[in-house]
């Protein structure tokens, strides 16, 4: 084993002590918060477009959680609950007709009333906008029509079980029709939705500023005056900002920083299981960009599935978790989390260098196989890349790392400008939300360019089947079929670690990884040693 692996194992063995053990799940802080102040959230990366139809990052979803509510939302038990809908949908005609009643009395941040017509406009845009990342999720919806009163009627081509889960995420976000008409393609620079906070300004790469929305239907329960999202890529710097009082929340906190935070009595840790996955995507057919028919890609990994299988067999998931993540994540070899209602526990294949080398010989590879791995330029992701590089070398690969800022990484991946890329997904309640867009031939997030008739057929079966046991079997089969292609190499599941100062109360962090600040604020009775919200606001400008 190479030096980097040996050093990694030695390093992680000395870091975990009784003082740095995370303990059980903690998703909420029920302490009451006082009114006023500015909350600063330090994000791991810069969000992409603030347009629910186009966005595809977890950090973007966290910003949306504060300003763009959905027809439905999820709770701490991963149950779907109405948000901008007045109740659960009425389903009839064998699952082909879905009627949703819209909440009354709500207004968008620009003052436009929320109504059924506004919902129709947004759903049509999510489905039909050429660049929409939501199109796969709403493709089975044949028609969308605002009917009498405050109801929206959806007619489906066939029964579509994942619909409600999609409407509990960005496909269910409703945008102001006035803003859509006024700004068009520039909606992302002037977003207007229904939410506790409204957009004020954005400085790309630095900050996004939201302010309390007086038009919000539940504004009396919103405590904070402003929320500032600052992009701070380095996890150590995010933690330092919490300790100095320049920020109060650090999202997606890496295990090493979590362990450091646990030794600081001014900080608190939120910990929830994830519904998503992280891994490597191999470009085997994305020659024209997302949404286009797959074509030929000129690389060794794309040329021969045996080479991709050898690459996958060179990796040790358990050791990656131990070296890179201090054993604080979970290994993964499929897109559906075991904690999901339709999830199943799977035994991941172990590292097999002998089989990997044999596969390379069978594929006619005599020298080291070159692979370019595009990876985010954060400290933790670079460490992951280095471990993958060292492990793959033992099997006969020569991996060259291509460090890239995360938003730029996604742009390259969308265009097909990569050979292999380290990227994951924050996860959805319904397994279809973790599979369809990524593995269907024309899926809106199919960055690998995978195209397989059996996978496409199983995806359709999963959409139209209602029985949970049958769907569980279908998703077990589709996972096996995806794994046989070795274009999506699932490696691990993060846990949602969010660190905050103890002066912040009322926060919620559920399994979807979103930081919910709607009812958060500074704890009543004074802070816990940090600077005041006014101080933070002044420095964030």
Residue 1's pLDDT is what?
47
CA distances from 77 to 62, 70, 85, 104, 368 (A): 19, 18, 19, 27, 48
Residues 6+ apart with CB under 8 A from 16: 259, 326, 327
Residue 273's pLDDT is what?
85
Q: Which residue positions in the chain have pLDDT lower than 50?
A: 1-20, 527-541
Whether 251 and 333 share a structural domain: no
Cα dihedral value 78, 248, 62, 71, nearest 10:
60
In the DSSP assignment, the letter for residue 149 is T
CA distances from 527 to 291, 504, 506, 533 (A): 50, 8, 14, 10
Whether 231 and 349 share a structural domain: no
Whether 283 and 237 share a structural domain: no
Residue 526's pLDDT is what?
58
Residue 291's pLDDT is what?
83
CA Rg value for the chain = 23
Asked whether residue 54 is domain-assigned, the answer is no
Whether 307 and 239 share a structural domain: no
Helix (H) or strand (E) holding 240: helix 235-244
**pTM for the whole structure:** 0.83
How far apart are the C-alpha atoms of 94 and 272, rounded to whole Å?
Answer: 36
Tokens of 466: 């209602």
Whether 34 and 116 share a structural domain: no
Domain membership of residue 219 as a residue range:
26-47+195-274+497-540
Whether 129 and 206 share a structural domain: no
Q: Are the beta carbons of 237 and 246 closer than 8 angstroms?
A: no
Closest CA to 217 of 191, 192, 195: 195
Q: Which residue has the tokens 């912040």?
A: 504
Whether 201 and 227 share a structural domain: yes
CATH number where 208 lies:
3.40.190.10
Asked whether residue 97 is domain-assigned, the answer is yes
- Work out the burial of residue 465: count CB atoms within 10 Å of its CB; fewer than 13 is exposed, 13-18 middle, 19 or more buried: middle
Closest CA to 49 of 69, 33, 64: 64
Asked whether residue 7 is domain-assigned, the answer is no
Residue 506's pLDDT is what?
96
How far apart are the C-alpha atoms of 230 and 373, rounded to whole Å?
Answer: 28
Q: Report the DSSP beta bridge partners of residue 164.
A: none
Residue 21's pLDDT is what?
62
CATH number where 158 lies:
3.90.76.10
pLDDT for 488-524, tens place per residue? 999 999 999 999 999 999 999 988 889 999 999 999 9
| Neighbour count for residue 355 (Cβ, 10 Å) | 15
Residues 6+ apart with CB under 8 A from 124: 144
Asked whether residue 339 is domain-assigned, the answer is yes
Cα angle 271-428-135, degrees, rounded to a multiple of 5? 145
**CA 439 and chain centroid, separation:** 16
* Percent of all residues in the chain with a pLDDT value above 70, rounded to a whole number: 93
Closest CA to 251 of 31, 65, 77: 65
How far apart are the C-alpha atoms of 212 and 198, rounded to whole Å?
Answer: 6
Single residue among 187, 212, 243 that ends a domain in this structure: 187
Whether 309 and 457 share a structural domain: yes
pLDDT for 189-213, tens place per residue? 999 999 999 999 999 999 999 999 9
Asked whether residue 1 is domain-assigned, the answer is no
Q: Is 451 helix (H, G, I), strand (E, B) or coil?
A: coil
Residue 266's pLDDT is what?
96
Residue 122's pLDDT is what?
98
Count of domains for the chain: 3
Q: In what order do the strands lie in the sheet with 226-231?
A: 197-203, 207-212, 226-231, 38-43, 249-250, 495-501, 267-273
């Amino acid at each position: 084993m190479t030096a980097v692996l040996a050093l990694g194992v030695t390093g992680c063995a000395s870091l975990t002590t009784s003082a740095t053990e995370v303990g059980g799940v903690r998703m909420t802080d029920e302490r009451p918060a006082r009114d006023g102040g500015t909350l600063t959230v330090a994000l791991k990366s810069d969000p992409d477009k603030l347009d629910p139809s186009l966005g595809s990052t977890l950090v973007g979803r966290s910003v949306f959680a504060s300003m763009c509510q959905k027809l439905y939302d999820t709770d701490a038990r991963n149950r779907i609950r109405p948000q901008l809908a007045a109740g659960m949908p009425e389903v009839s005609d064998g699952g082909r007709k879905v009627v949703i009643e819209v909440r009354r009395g709500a207004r968008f941040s620009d003052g436009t009333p929320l109504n059924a017509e506004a919902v129709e406009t947004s759903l049509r845009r999510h489905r039909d906008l050429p660049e929409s990342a939501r199109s796969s999720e709403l493709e089975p919806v044949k028609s969308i029509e605002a009917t009498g009163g405050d109801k929206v009627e959806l007619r489906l081509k066939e029964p579509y079980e994942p619909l409600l889960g999609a409407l509990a995420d960005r496909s269910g976000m409703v945008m102001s029709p006035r803003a859509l008409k006024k700004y068009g393609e520039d909606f992302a620079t002037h977003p207007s939705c229904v939410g506790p906070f409204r957009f004020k300004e954005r400085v790309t790469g630095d900050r996004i500023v939201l302010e309390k929305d007086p038009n919000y239907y539940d504004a009396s329960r919103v405590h904070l005056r402003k929320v500032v999202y600052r992009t701070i890529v380095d996890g150590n710097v995010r933690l330092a900002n919490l300790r100095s009082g320049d920020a109060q929340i650090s999202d997606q906190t890496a295990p090493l920083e979590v362990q450091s935070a646990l030794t600081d009595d001014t900080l608190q840790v939120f910990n929830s299981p994830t519904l998503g996955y992280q891994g490597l995507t191999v470009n085997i057919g994305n020659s024209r960009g997302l949404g286009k028919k797959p074509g030929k890609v000129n690389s060794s990994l794309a040329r021969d599935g045996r080479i991709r299988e050898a690459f996958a067999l060179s990796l040790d998931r358990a050791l990656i978790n131990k070296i890179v993540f201090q054993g604080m994540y979970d290994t993964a070899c499929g897109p559906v989390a075991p904690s999901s209602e339709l999830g199943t526990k799977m035994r991941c294949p172990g590292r097999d260098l002998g089989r990997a080398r044999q596969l390379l010989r069978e594929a006619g590879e005599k020298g080291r196989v070159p692979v370019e791995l595009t990876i985010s330029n954060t400290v933790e992701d670079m460490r992951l890349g280095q471990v993958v590089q060292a492990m793959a070398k033992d099997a006969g690969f020569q991996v060259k790392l291509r460090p890239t800022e995360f938003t730029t990484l996604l742009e390259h991946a969308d265009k097909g400008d990569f050979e292999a890329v380290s990227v994951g997904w924050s996860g959805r309640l319904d397994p279809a939300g973790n599979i369809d867009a990524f593995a269907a031939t024309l899926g809106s997030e199919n960055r690998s360019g995978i195209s397989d008739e059996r996978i496409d057929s199983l995806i359709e079966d999963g959409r139209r089947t209602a029985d949970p046991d049958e769907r569980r079997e279908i998703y077990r089969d589709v996972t096996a079929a995806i794994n046989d292609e070795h274009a999506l190499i699932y490696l691990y599941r993060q846990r949602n670690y969010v660190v905050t100062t103890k002066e912040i109360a009322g926060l919620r962090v559920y399994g979807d990884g979103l930081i919910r600040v709607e009812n958060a604020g500074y704890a009543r009775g004074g802070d816990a040693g940090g600077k005041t919200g006014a101080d933070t606001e002044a420095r964030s400008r």
